[in-house]
Amino acid sequence: MEKATAVANPNIAFVKYWGKTDEELNLPANPSLSMNLAALTTVTTVEFRRDLPADLVTVDDRPLAGPALARVLAHLNRIRALAGIDHKAWVASRNDFPAGTGLASSASAFAALSLAATRAAGLWLDESALSRLARRGSGSACRSVPAGFCLWEGEDDETSYARQVAPAEHWNLTDVVAIVSREHKPVGSHDGHGLAPGSPFYAARLAAVPGWLADVGQGIRQRDLGLLGLAAEADALAMHGVMLTSLPPLLYWEGGTLAVLKAVLDWRREGLDVYFTMDAGPNVHCLCLAATAAEVEGRLRRLGVPEVVVSGPGQGVRLVDHYLF
Amino acid sequence: MEKATAVANPNIAFVKYWGKTDEELNLPANPSLSMNLAALTTVTTVEFRRDLPADLVTVDDRPLAGPALARVLAHLNRIRALAGIDHKAWVASRNDFPAGTGLASSASAFAALSLAATRAAGLWLDESALSRLARRGSGSACRSVPAGFCLWEGEDDETSYARQVAPAEHWNLTDVVAIVSREHKPVGSHDGHGLAPGSPFYAARLAAVPGWLADVGQGIRQRDLGLLGLAAEADALAMHGVMLTSLPPLLYWEGGTLAVLKAVLDWRREGLDVYFTMDAGPNVHCLCLAATAAEVEGRLRRLGVPEVVVSGPGQGVRLVDHYLF
């Protein structure tokens, strides 16, 4: 059988996905809209081999274990079932960005794994089928399959996948990520999703999502940062409002988080065109145009943010012709 | 005319008031339930004098000015209208706690002013009339008029005032206040109330309030800290969830706020019986029984909290026979 290597970027959602209607299928309670992040990549090589006694998975040269390994094995089993094979797999994956910093490495990881493993198993999936498959591994991974700006919507397993709404070249929107903490979040996104319906704000956020989705979609089409940015901020704060009113409260923020959020609001009052969004973690994604990114990065560093990543829109998951083993 | 001095305690609400149905009358969008704080007092002396050319108001020996003075003069005008007099007033007020630290000094201030000024004007108001009057000066001031634990409910100007649900002696509930910041909040409560209906969570919080109110009421009746504490936490987080999703977002928290919130949740997981609530500011009120207060205070100080105030249930507003001038 073949060996295959795929490269994928993580993505940042401007309208988030928080809460699921189907835990097993990773069907989200609301549509989401994201941009792939060109500056960050996961590279994954997969080979199915008859001579392997067991699946072997390494991430950044360390063998994977525990629940993280179980998630990958479950995904490999899905692909083996699709291909009608029972070979064990050798999987090596490498990230060029710090893992565990809330940069959505599971999105790029499961997008790259889905493409590399299906190719290695002799399958050719089209983009929508690949996005559906990636979704089963990690919900947001489906948005890292198409290139550029992606909308994830759909009702059931058949229809729930991400589609491109604009290519990466459409707009020089830039994400300046303030990495305020490298600590691993105390409650993972998976458990967080399960707590969401317990918040008194859960339904209210879902009811507000279509409005934000419309604004973000129009913001991308018209390259209107203000329209996209205000909706992205409102949605991110609403998601964190749902989190903090879950039982028990999910407090993903750190002191540095608050400092950056307040700074971005202050900078905008001063006239700098920058907006924030956040994932399920303490880091703050500052959204601006490419021309403003250096200014935003400099201000974040002067604020004392220990690490800053600057990224424009990225491509979709793709095959490359080199291998990690 | 007489000179009169009144003493009042600020109060901490376990179910908050956030949003108004009538801006001019300070009619709240939801009922609230609070405890007066014995450890903190405002003392206010008032005298109406024919020989004064203008109202003279000092707080902590400094003349009041600007919007704060305008609010006091409007309140004096209400009392003059009630008493049918037009004398100018000499008002001196003193707090034995740091002002501007989010300790609800406007509640104790307008409760003390209402009693001292009505007595000085020759009026005798009963408790409900005094609570209604104090409400006009500052909404939460109406809850500092009765003693102990107070419920503020009612629909209109006639019926909207605070009533005692339990006297101070009923329960040794203790508020250990972590003063994490002395900075003045960037947006005052008054303007914050006006932003509340713009939050997508405004209606959802109001819909959840009756449940929290029932739990807090039962918690007080049965002296059940867990019942009261969990409801108070949920309501406080919901109020801050409404604040942070207002447009613009109201971010009252500081880094120290997050540190205390997370610590309280951790301590409870370890078995310490302590809960938090917050007002419209960065400070955290830690609720526990009197026997646990020293332990909570010690832990807050070891956490680096610069100032801690410990208070049991306080009395209502009362006259005293000494004068500030």
A251 interfaces chain B, CB cutoff of 8 Å: yes
Whether B238 sits inside 8 A of A245 (CB atoms) is: yes
Considering only residues A190 and A70, tell me which one the structure prediction assigns the higher pLDDT: A70
Partners of residue A234 in chain B, C-beta under 8 Å: 200, 245, 247
Task: State the residue for tokens 């409400």.
Answer: B135
Whether B201 sits inside 8 A of A241 (CB atoms) is: yes
A255-295 pLDDT, tens digit each = 999 999 999 999 999 999 999 999 999 999 999 999 999 99
Question: How far apart (Å, rounded) are the C-alpha atoms in residues A42 and A108?
Answer: 6
Average pLDDT over residues A127-146: 97
User: Is residue B76's pLDDT more than 70?
Assistant: yes
Q: Percent of chain A beyond pLDDT 90? A: 90
The pLDDT value given to residue A291:
97
User: Could you report the predicted ipTM of this complex, rounded to two decimals?
Assistant: 0.89
Q: In a 10 Å sphere around its CB, with 0-12 CB exposed, 13-18 middle and 19+ buried, how is residue B86 labelled?
A: exposed
The pLDDT value given to residue B99:
62
- Mean pLDDT for all residues in chain B: 94
> Which long-range contacts (C-beta less than 8 Å, at least 24 apart) are formed by A19-24?
A19/A193, A19/A196, A19/A197, A19/A202, A19/A206, A19/A242, A20/A139, A20/A193, A20/A194, A22/A157, A23/A193, A23/A194
The pLDDT value given to residue B173:
98
B204, B240, B259: residue with CB nearest A200: B204
Question: How far apart (Å, rounded) are the C-alpha atoms in residues B163 and B185?
Answer: 30
Whether B251 sits inside 8 A of A258 (CB atoms) is: yes
Average pLDDT over residues A29-57: 96
Average pLDDT over residues B199-223: 97
Considering only residues B149 and B1, tell me which one the structure prediction assigns the higher pLDDT: B149
- Mean pLDDT for all residues in chain A: 94
B266-317 pLDDT, tens digit each = 999 999 999 999 999 999 999 999 999 999 999 999 999 999 999 999 999 9
Partners of residue A205 in chain B, C-beta under 8 Å: 200-201
Both tokens of A165, joined, read 């709404």
Average pLDDT over residues B234-241: 97
Partners of residue B237 in chain A, C-beta under 8 Å: 244-245, 249
B107-130 pLDDT, tens digit each = 999 999 999 999 999 999 999 999
A203, A238, A265: residue with CB nearest B245: A238
Q: Percent of chain A beyond pLDDT 70? A: 97
Average pLDDT over residues B57-64: 94
Whether A258 sits inside 8 A of B254 (CB atoms) is: yes
Expressed in percent and rounded to 5, the helix, strand and coil fractions of chain B are 40, 25, 35
Any idea which of A124-138, A210-224, B97-111, B147-161 has the lowest mean pLDDT? B97-111
Residues contacting A191, CB < 8 A, separation 6+: none
A205 interfaces chain B, CB cutoff of 8 Å: yes
The pLDDT value given to residue A101:
59
The pLDDT value given to residue B103:
66
Task: Calculate the alpha carbon distances from B97 to A2, B57, B62, B101, B165 in Å.
Answer: 75, 19, 15, 9, 26
B247 interfaces chain A, CB cutoff of 8 Å: yes
Whether A247 sits inside 8 A of B234 (CB atoms) is: yes
User: Is residue A86's pLDDT more than 80?
Assistant: yes
Partners of residue B230 in chain A, C-beta under 8 Å: 247
Residue of B nearest to A200 (CA): B204
The pLDDT value given to residue B182:
76
Which candidate, B105, B87, B86, places its Cα nearest to that of B96? B105
Residue of B nearest to A198 (CA): B234
Q: Could you tell me if A288 and A274 are in contact, meaning their C-beta atoms sit under 8 angstroms apart?
A: yes
Whether A203 sits inside 8 A of B204 (CB atoms) is: yes
Partners of residue B203 in chain A, C-beta under 8 Å: 204
Topology of domain A3-167 in CATH is: Ribosomal Protein S5; domain 2 (3.30.230)
Question: How far apart (Å, rounded) are the C-alpha atoms in residues B261 and B39?
Answer: 22
Residue of B nearest to A263 (CA): B251
Whether B201 sits inside 8 A of A238 (CB atoms) is: yes
CA-based nearest distance A211→chain B, Å: 11
B204, B249, B265: residue with CB nearest A201: B204
A248: cis peptide before it, omega within 30°?
yes
Residues contacting B257, CB < 8 A, separation 6+: B180, B181, B278, B282, B283, B284
Question: How far apart (Å, rounded) are the C-alpha atoms in residues A61 and A91?
Answer: 11
Both tokens of A49, joined, read 């081999």
A27 interfaces chain B, CB cutoff of 8 Å: no
User: Is residue B151's pLDDT more than 80?
Assistant: yes
A123 interfaces chain B, CB cutoff of 8 Å: no
Task: State the residue for tokens 């709404």.
Answer: A165
User: Is residue A309's pLDDT more than 80?
Assistant: yes
Question: How far apart (Å, rounded) are the C-alpha atoms in residues B77 and A261?
Answer: 42
Q: How many CB atoms within 10 Å of residue B49?
A: 13
Partners of residue A208 in chain B, C-beta under 8 Å: 200
The pLDDT value given to residue B188:
74
CA-based nearest distance B238→chain A, Å: 6
Partners of residue A197 in chain B, C-beta under 8 Å: none
User: Is residue A75's pLDDT more than 80?
Assistant: yes
The pLDDT value given to residue A47:
97
Average pLDDT over residues A116-138: 97
Q: What is the CATH code for A170-311?
A: 3.30.70.890
The pLDDT value given to residue B194:
87
A201, A234, A258: residue with CB nearest B241: A201
Whether A200 sits inside 8 A of B200 (CB atoms) is: no
Domain boundaries, chain A: 3-167, 170-311
Residue of B nearest to A211 (CA): B200
Question: How far apart (Å, rounded) are the C-alpha atoms in residues B74 and B108?
Answer: 17
Average pLDDT over residues A200-224: 97
